[in-house]
Structure 1
Amino acid sequence: MSGYGSLTRSITNQLRRVADGGETFARVSRAAGIILVVAVPIVVTPWGPDGYNQVKALTTEILASLAMIGWIGARLATGRPSWRFTAPELPLWAFLLAVLLSSVTSVNPRLSFLGGAGRYEGLFAHCGYVALFLVGVHFFGSYAGLRALVRAAGGAAVITSAYGVLQLFIPPLFAGETFIREWYSAPGIVRVPSTLSSPVMFGGYLSLMIPLLLATGVSARGTARRFWLAAACLALLALAMTIARAAWAATFIGLVILAIAAGRSTWRHRIIVAALAVIVMASVGLLVTGVGRPAAIWSHVTASADIRSGSPAQRVYIWSRTLGLIGIRPWLGWGLETLGVVFPYDRASLVRVFGPRPTIIDRAHNDLLQVAVSIGIPGALAYAAVWGLVVWSAVRTWRRAAGSARILAAGWLAAITAYLVQVQFSFSVVALAPIVWLLAGAAAGWEAESRGRGNGGTRERETACQ
């Protein structure tokens, strides 16, 4: 009996060590996800020709690899986490297959595998995005998991917003920042990029984060509420200084969605949302006069209505020629990152539309067109299905949740809608896309969990987390 008891204790200790090892690996995956949403938007380097996207791409690859190593280790040690099927999963695999096939048949495989200079969104980056989505599903796929990611990302948004506002008053800190600020500014207009590589990308980042900051503030209490609402106001001020019209419009749409979705909560939440909507308009009206001459800014904003000149004419020019390229290779596209190589350059028309400054067109300035010209129409349809089902999952989560969980679900629904609107006039970028894919996976995983538990399960989970 003594020997039997010793054997039992030995087996128990071994199982405990295995479980502890599995939990350690799982913590690696969760830590990598948390660090990613903080580090990617902030990290820059003063060395080398690209101070922004190159280091962000490297950071993403390292953290995505660590997350996958942690996942594999946890799975081998304990058999967990078990696979969780989410609504976007089938089109996600179809999209990844299209990315792989288009890279193999690319007109420039090196570009398609590694990514172009300054962009770095080749095959490896897209595999990383898919991996981050799945990490989000399996390690952050709950109310508590998504909330942890949002709060970590919110802390980074405070830093980037504060630095964006500060850029109005301090000189550039390194050569790359000097170039970006001069490139995107114009006579009478000063635009701030913060640490996101351009004012356009900074605006896109803020259009994603502002609804999440507001939702976090509305659902918090006491000092935490004041902090997150102040962070949202700071982000709104920084957004006004980007003079990014698509981001402005996307943020407005996101706030409308948040107001409608959160409006079904208590009257106090409604008052907060209404007050913040007023702050949005006041910040735009007040701060645009602080970043340049009002006449120049007003001219820049109203130019959006004239498709014959300026940015609208440039978009129409790029879109029309991108559609022609899609028609030539509709099934597998030209390959990731190859648009700058295959675009039909015509010097006379380029000067007429873009001016005499040398122009390289390596992005379609429409996310869906960019995907279609890169990996073909079937892959673009799968890509659209992924994000359509992400939005659908967000709606379902919002309908099922209650209390603070419902507010967070409303914030995510508003945030992902704003991002998808903004990116149709811009493009995916390595400074922002990893965060979106990870958050999308966490939200889809939360929806799958709540679907499995039922309505009561979501409410129980929220109560336990509080």
Structure 2
Amino acid sequence: MSERTNDIEPLSVGARLERWLYLGLLALVIALPLVMTPYLSADTFDIAKLVALRLISLGLVGIWAFRVAIKKERRVRWSKLDALLLLFIMLVTVSTIFSLQPSLSILGKYRRFEGLLTFINYAAIYFLALQSFASFERIKVLGRLLSLVGGVVSIYGLAQFTGFDPISWPGQQFELWRSFSTFGNPDMLGGFLALAFPTALASYLDAEGAKDSTLYGIAFTLITACLLTSYTRGAWLGAVAGILVFALLVGRFVLLSPRKLAVIAAVFVITFGSIAFYSGTRAHNTNLLERISSTSQISEGSAGSRLEIWKAALRATEERPLLGFGPDTFNLLSQRYETVRYVKIVQGNSTADNAHNYFLQLAATVGIPAAICFIVFICAALFFARNSIRYYDANTKRVYAGLIAAAAGYIVYLAFGLSIIGSTPLLWLIIGAILSQAYFVHTNKVKAVPAIIAASATTLTFLIAAYLAVTMYAADVHFNRAMTLENSGNPDQAIASFDTAMRLYKNGLYFDLYGRYLQDIGLAKHDTSLLVKAKDIAETAADLEPNDSDHWIYLANAYATLTQGPGTGYFDSAEEALNKALAIRPYSPLAQLLLANAYEAEGRYDDVLRLLEFVRDVNPTSKEAYLLTAEAYKNLGNKELAVTYYKKYQSLNPRDTKVGQIIQGLQAIQRAPK
């Protein structure tokens, strides 16, 4: 009796590791867009995606390092473009060293996280994709998977558009019922959909058989609809650019599926018409047609504010053209260089933490040379990938064209939007995948010792990065718990959670909100020890991030609660802190308003009026500004102007009956015979 042999030989260890590497890259495509942790972490979206990115990347790097260690013959795929990428990472590293705040530039800003570690992560994903996507079938799977994930994300976004959202989201900062799905912001959702849109189109055109055609047709329809309901104009431009690139790359081959083209046209017309009609009814409050027409209004609304942000980015770039202010420091530099018009548009309520133009963002934060390296690398990669597909047949060409168009569309979106860790790593993955088949990519043997050293160093770097990400996430869970416990009537538990969060992650926002909480309960309980602790927390925040004006404002407020009036130590410290805030952000209305309060206590009424003129101009609805102005004029003996500003205050706050009595008293004095 003869022995039976298996028809399929088992994979070698090296082949298994290589397959796991490929599957891990696909896991990124699934996890990054979908993962979020509502009710658990304070930052529901980005910090959860950061953890997913770091842990999966650690696994990928570990698999690659182990493969390098066990293989007798070590081969690495590389392209001549890699030198540009390496130079880019080196420049970002130097920029981090000379950053306005190096610790921030390493980790990235809270809720953004695009610091040095993330840029290294991008480069690693590109490198591993270049090694792994060595066949057309794998590239095809990448495009199809991205399409399906885009469809899943879109289902939730469309549910939000129609008002059916199982999750209650507090503090929404944008128009009601705009789709934001698993990204937490319509702009960020739009960026991801601009990336998925061309791949969904290509997957539908490439699909064979009714089952696949239906599946990818539905995904394309969902993505198209959700892209519209995100109301993100930059993403719309990115999607249009993606379609144009796809059409140019595929050319006449797109005409091989006339029925599918007719279906696509019908889907768009029906989807657009339905959304336009529904959004214009009373059941909805965000009109699609009005949003489209506003695209041409570049000097008004959000478009106008972004023009002012771009001006700040250009001014910052002029100040530090070579190395910038450091990765992810845009919030700090925008405070220095924001325009008066921008402050008026937002009424001083916020500062820009992103340029809304990735190229300006890079130039201002990591310098012009690094920005040029990035732009040239991406453009060259797309150009060479485009040259490579000319030799493929129609089906293969459509798949490649879809991915190239996806990358091109996302780059166009980045000229008007934000780079986030839920989408941008997928851009680098796509670039690595489409270049893996390019004619100028080479495979070379590498020596054992340098390869093992490089693999070990990379693994250690990603181990540290993953540990930091998990620690930051744990801190955010404690911070969320502390915020939840604020109104529970048990401050001891809230304080314990705040303390744990700050111990795990030195995040300035944690310190600010913790200090404010201590101050509130200290005032409520008349507990001076809590007020002193709030002051200590605010001092720590200012020491930790001295280039953020908000910390100095919080510190000044903490000093003010402890002061006994002019001439005391805390009063002088509060005034000094406000002057530091204004040195960082000269156009801060809140700092000027608080400083006006201090000057009013000192009897410096002319200085009060000087500061409040700007505050009223920036925020015409500031009740406190009008009240302080009226009191300053009253103290200066100008009863007529005092009455004028008291009345303006009264129109904003009619419930304040005391002001009515003051007005009557001043008018009586004016009418009295002299």
Give TM class, smaller chain. 0.7 to 0.9
Q: Which residue of 1 aligns with 2:540?
A: none
Partner of 1:332: 323
> Unpaired runs of 5+ in structure 1?
1-15, 453-466
Whether the aligned pair in 2 keeps the contact of 1:27 and 1:70 (CA below 8 Å) is: no
Match of 1:396 in 2: 387
Counterpart of 1:150 in 2: which secondary structure? helix
In the alignment, is residue 421 of structure 1 matched against residue 421 of structure 2? no
Report matched runs for 1:1-400 at 5 Å: 20-46=12-38, 47-79=40-72, 82-169=75-162, 171-175=164-168, 177-179=169-171, 182-185=172-175, 190-222=177-209, 223-265=211-253, 267-273=255-261, 275-291=263-279, 293=281, 296-343=287-334, 344=336, 348-354=340-346, 356=347, 358-400=349-391
* Contact 2:276–2:287 under 8 Å retained in 1: no
Q: What SS does the aligned partner of 1:243 have?
A: coil
Cα distance in 1 between the residues matched to 2:19 and 2:354:
37
Offset at residue 51 of structure 1 (A): 0.4
Identical amino acids, percent of aligned pairs: 25
**Equivalence for 1:455:** none
Q: Check the 8 A contact 2:50/2:421 in 1, yes or no.
A: yes
Q: Which sits farther off after the overlay, 134-143 or 270-279?
A: 270-279
Q: Please report how far the alpha carbon of residue 444 of structure 1 lies from its aligned counterpart in structure 2 after TM superposition.
A: 0.9
> Relative to structure 1, is the Cα distance of residues 200 and 80 closer, same or farther in structure 2, using a 3 angstrom cutoff?
farther
With 421-430 and 148-157 compared, the bigger mean Cα shift is at 148-157
Deviation at 1:391, TM superposition (A): 1.1
Q: Is the 8 A contact 1:141 1:449 kept in 2?
A: no
Q: TM-score, normalised by structure 2?
A: 0.60
Contact 1:132 1:434 in 2 (8 A): yes
Question: How far apart are 1:241 and its partner, in Å?
Answer: 0.8
TM-score (norm 1): 0.86
Deviations 1:185-226 (A, max 9, x none): 15xxx3010102211111111111111011112112002122
> 1:84, CA displacement in angstroms?
1.5
Q: Which amino acid aligns with 2:76?
A: W
Give the 3 Å change call, closer, same or farther, for CA 207–295 of structure 1 in structure 2: closer
Alpha-carbon shift at residue 368 of structure 1 (Å): 0.6
Could you tell me whether the CA contact under 8 Å between 2:77 and 2:442 is conserved in 1? no
Instruction: Give the whole-Å Cα distance in 1 for the aligned partners of 2:395 and 2:440.
Output: 17
Partner SS for 1:332: coil
After TM superposition, give the deviation of residue 26 of structure 1 in Å.
Answer: 2.1
Aligned length: 429
State the alpha-carbon separation in 1 of the partners of residues 442 and 395 from structure 2: 18
C-alpha contact 1:200 1:247 (8 A) present in aligned 2: yes
Letter in 2 for 1:381: I
CA distance in 2, matches of 1:238, 1:418: 16
Secondary structure of the 1:184 match is coil
Change (3 A) 1:397 1:282: farther
Q: Which structure exhibits the higher relative contact order, with contacts defined as CA atoms closer than 8 Å and separated by 6 or more residues?
A: 1
**Counterparts of 1:275 and 1:80, CA distance in 2:** 51
Q: Is the 8 A contact 2:143 2:399 kept in 1?
A: no
The one-letter amino acid paired with 2:101 is N
Q: 1:282 to 1:172 in 2, by over 3 A?
A: closer
CA distance in 2, matches of 1:94, 1:302: 42
Report the Cα offset of residue 80 of structure 1: 6.0
Which amino acid in 2 is paired with 1:366?
N
When Rg is computed on C-alpha atoms for both structures, the one with the higher figure is: 2
Q: Which amino acid aligns with 2:144?
A: R
In 2, distance between residues paired with 1:154 and 1:80? Answer: 37
Alignment equivalent of 2:397, drawn from 393, 401, 406:
406
CA gap 1:79/1:104 in 2 versus in 1, 3 angstroms: farther
SS of the aligned residue for 1:84 comes to strand
**Structure-1 separation of matches of 2:352 and 2:262:** 41
Q: Does the residue aligned with 2:104 lie in a helix, a strand or coil?
A: helix
CA distance in structure 1 between the aligned counterparts of 2:232 and 2:341, rounded to whole angstroms: 25
Deviation at 1:256, TM superposition (A): 2.6
- RMSD, aligned α-carbons: 2.4
Structure 2 CA distance for partners of 1:206 and 1:79, relative to 1, 3 Å: farther
1:252 positional shift? 1.8
- The alpha carbon displacement at 1:348 in A equals 4.9
The CA distance in 2 between the partners of 1:394 and 1:38, in whole Å, is: 24
CA contact (8 A) 2:88 2:370 kept: yes
In the TM superposition, what whole-angstrom CA distance separates every residue of 1:370-428 from its partner, at most 9, and x where no partner exists?
11111111101100011111211221122121132111111122211111111100121
Deviation at 1:81, TM superposition (A): 6.2
Partner deviation per Cα, 1:121-141 (whole Å, 9 max, x = no partner): 111111111000001100114
Distance 2:180 2:439 in 1: 37
Which AA in structure 2 matches 1:415?
A
The alpha carbon displacement at 1:299 in A equals 3.2
Q: Distance in 1 between matches of 2:439 and 2:55?
A: 28
Partners of 1:23 and 1:74 within 8 A in 2: no
Quote the Cα distance in structure 2 between the aligned partners of 1:97 and 1:270.
Answer: 49
Query: Alpha carbons of 1:371 and 1:274: their partners in 2 closer, same or farther (altered >3 Å)?
Result: farther
Partners of 2:314 and 2:262 in 1: CA distance: 41
For 1:326 and 1:95, how far apart are their aligned partners in 2?
A: 17
The 1:279–1:204 alpha-carbon spacing in structure 2 relative to 1, beyond 3 Å, is: same
Q: Which amino acid aligns with 2:221?
A: C
Alpha-carbon separation, structure 2, partners of 1:330 and 1:254:
31
